[in-house]
Structure 1
């Protein structure tokens, strides 16, 4: 980085930066090991709310990438953190899987479909008409509408799957109520990650593969940003955006040497 400010903390997206589905991206394992050896604090971020950090650690380990459980920050954790700050010990009707329900329980929330404070929508591979209908009726009755992230679709080995944003649009159309999205591109997710690390935006870098989520949320949170060209945003599309990443590289392998630099003395 040409910027004279030191890089003390790293945030990095997961899908498209470290892995494609279950396949590791060349250089990803070396990048994570370099960060661990340097003593720098880091978090791997993902908008995926299906899995717990323990699940994601196991999945990454299966791809040869050893990320500690406490170095994984999901939109589910960010959502639970946000709701705990807004309304401690609240209640919620949750549409989602273990990653979201576990995070909500861990901050002291009670799951209920009886006059909940919130309807919280996350990602699941088994959206049910009954659960969506219940969510619609609870929102109509006054529950506040929260969604973990606005991603409209997600990948699978069989092809595109509808994700949280698509189902949120369905609920919004039925209720006339828009959700508050916690995950990227909301810079709130970056801020919550910084708070978790007790880090400062001035000395933190965000690595991502999407200009419209990773890079813009990092930019709005005051971070330096690095776009890797191994994921969603194609190289020929970069110049279409009205904002720029601090740096653009081919892949995470190009950042291993920078990650190896020792953390500054406290």
Structure 2
């Protein structure tokens, strides 16, 4: 059964660092031309949807903010649905703060919070972690945008949000609730955003541990592309296989 819509990972799928994966760029632009809905689903909580779309446009991909779902956006929506207008202490960058405020949540500067949310923060300080720890110990619910322990950069792999989250987890002895891939929270949000049932959607990605397990955990079909992190040999060694595997999206017929 062909898909009626597609979800795409970014790094390793649409591009590698600053270099676009041309087959993926061409595929997405073909979806746009044929009116097939698509959405870019990313664990990156530091960028706004518009900033992600702008980066993609710079690589020749037809995209706007409506084509993007970040883990920060999903986090904001998750909290707002549970607890509208809640007070949130946020450790993170502009993309996270903006996403929380867009959902009508109150971002506070001290430990008197209903929720503590942590996303990647490249200006992390001891005081930010201290306030977060105090709030969690006082009863705030602990949420992490994603568990990525390392992120790829031009310098190599640097500490990711999962590494930062571990500081709060260890010091408070509380387990966070994770929002981003491979947790299934974003699957329902993504399907709703593109207006399709989950059985009509395929998740496309290069990383088994995040992208493919995200689809598997969320109950949607998956397609592994061999343009990024994991090789076909690695994929074949996994207990649960992706629904499809292609060398590139040039092979996939709509």
- What TM-score do the two structures reach when normalised by structure 1? 0.92
> Please, which runs of 5 or more residues in structure 2 have no aligned partner?
none
Aligned match for 2:39, one of 38, 43, 47: 43
CA distance in 2, matches of 1:138, 1:107: 21
Is residue 252 from structure 1 mapped to residue 249 from structure 2 by the alignment? yes
1:101-250 aligned at under 5 Å gives the runs 101-112=97-108, 113-250=110-247
SS at match of 2:153: coil
CA distance in 2, matches of 1:137, 1:251: 48
Instruction: Tell me the alpha carbon deviations over residues 51-78 of structure 1, each in whole angstroms, 9 at most, x when there is no partner.
Output: 0011111111222222122001110111
2:12 aligned partner = 16
- The number of residues matched between the two structures is 253
Q: Which moved more, 1:222-231 or 1:63-72?
A: 63-72
Cα gap change, 1:160 to 1:172, in 2 (>3 Å): same
CA distance in 1, matches of 2:24, 2:6: 14
Aligned match for 2:62, one of 62, 66, 90: 66
Report 1 or 2 for greater relative contact order, CA contacts < 8 Å, sequence distance ≥ 6: 1
Cα gap change, 1:235 to 1:6, in 2 (>3 Å): closer
Instruction: Tell me the alpha carbon deviations over residues 188-212 of structure 1, each in whole angstroms, 9 at most, x when there is no partner.
Output: 1111111222210111111011111
Q: Which moved more, 1:63-72 or 1:33-42?
A: 63-72
CA distance in 1, matches of 2:63, 2:245: 24
